[in-house]
């Protein structure tokens, strides 16, 4: 029996099913419906559920190209594993989208629905935020800066990789997650250096160079 989420509705008299674009199964039930009654109803609809999931998989067009995280290439893979939550995961050499939608027909080359694209963007942002949240205080301590940073935000910016406000708030473009860690570290060091030198003076670049001897190489990589 596939996993499902139950939504109890006030005033509802019957149980009904719905399948979301990501392949997740939702049960809408009256408040008086027992778990046993709901499970029996879902089991009775197994043929319909499998048929709809198969149709959704069959109508998915192709997608090409690897997905890069921290400079490493991963294959986008779509399948179903009951031990994982629904959504995106990093599994071995794959960026794995787990959904019962692909229970019958796993795929490695499929395009993303708008819902999957949104969830991949959220996964990408959260993956980058997790890295920066851990790495930024390490670099700040290593640089022995007397000035503290304050809020840290993650955005999908079109014109810059990072910024530092006069209030000490840092912004980072989460698309940096596609670059190797040393390039990401360069951007973090760059913005931390602005806490001391708000301009791009010689003193600023000297501070950057002190903690990233290859900063010019990393700048070129970002420009390309």
Q: Specify if 129 maps to a domain.
A: yes
Whole-Å CA distances, 48 to 43, 57, 111: 10, 14, 24
Per-residue pLDDT for 169 more than 70? yes
Contact 195, 168 (CB under 8 A): yes
In a domain? residue 82: yes
Counting the structural domains of the chain, the total is 3
Confidence band for 78, pLDDT divided at 50, 70 and 90: confident
Task: Count Cβ atoms below 10 Å from residue 49 Cβ, excluding itself.
Answer: 19
Q: Are residues 52 and 33 in the same domain?
A: yes
Residue 72 lies in a domain: yes
pLDDT of residue 79 exceeding 70, the answer is yes
Q: What is the pLDDT of residues 8-40, one digit of tens each?
A: 888 888 999 988 765 678 899 998 899 889 989
What pLDDT shows up at residue 109?
55
Considering only CA atoms, which of 108, 219, 111, 112 is closest in space to residue 162? 219
DSSP code at position 67:
E
Same-domain pairing of 77 and 132: no
pTM beyond 0.95: the answer is: no
For 172-179, what is the mean pLDDT? 94
Same domain, 128 and 172: yes
Question: Which pLDDT score is estimated for 64?
Answer: 41
Q: Is 116 inside any structural domain? A: no
Residues 105 and 148 occupy one common structural domain = no
DSSP code of 59? T
| Same domain? 215 vs 133 | yes
Q: Give the model's confidence band at 60: pLDDT under 50 very low, under 70 low, under 90 confident, else very high.
A: very low
| Residue range 125-138, pLDDT digits in tens | 999 999 999 999 99
Amino acid 201: pLDDT: 93
204 shares a domain with 150: yes
Same domain, 36 and 127: no
Burial class of residue 90 (count of CB atoms within 10 Å of its CB; 0-12, 13-18, 19+): middle
Same domain, residue pair 95 and 167 = no
If asked whether residues 30 and 90 sit together in one domain, one would say no
Tell me the CATH number at 135: 3.30.2010.10
**Domain coverage including residue 75:** 67-111
Note whether residue 53 is domain-resident. Answer: yes
Cα 20 from Cα 26, distance rounded (Å): 8
Same domain, 151 and 203: yes
20 and 50 both lie in a single domain: yes
138 and 106 in a common domain: no
């Amino acid at each position: 029996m596939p996993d499902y989420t139950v939504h109890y509705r006030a005033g509802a008299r019957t149980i009904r099913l719905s399948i979301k674009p990501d392949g997740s199964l939702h049960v809408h039930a009256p408040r008086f419906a027992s778990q046993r009654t709901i499970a029996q109803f879902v089991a009775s609809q197994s043929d319909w559920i499998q048929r709809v999931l198969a149709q959704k998989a069959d109508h998915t067009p192709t997608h090409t190209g690897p997905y890069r995280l921290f400079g490493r290439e991963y294959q986008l893979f779509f399948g179903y594993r009951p031990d994982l939550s629904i959504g995106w995961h990093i599994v071995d050499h794959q960026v794995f989208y787990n959904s019962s939608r692909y229970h019958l027909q796993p795929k490695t080359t499929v395009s993303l629905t708008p819902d999957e694209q949104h969830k991949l963007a959220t996964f990408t942002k959260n993956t980058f935020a997790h890295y920066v949240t851990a790495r930024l205080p390490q670099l700040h301590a290593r640089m022995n800066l007397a000035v503290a940073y304050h809020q840290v935000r993650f955005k999908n910016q079109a014109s810059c990789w990072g910024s530092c406000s006069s209030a000490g708030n840092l912004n980072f473009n989460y698309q940096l997650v596609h670059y190797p860690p040393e390039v990401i570290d360069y951007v973090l060091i760059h913005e931390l250096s602005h806490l001391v030198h708000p301009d791009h003076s010689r003193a600023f670049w000297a501070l950057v160079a002190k903690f990233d001897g290859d900063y010019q190489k990393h700048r070129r990589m970002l420009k390309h």
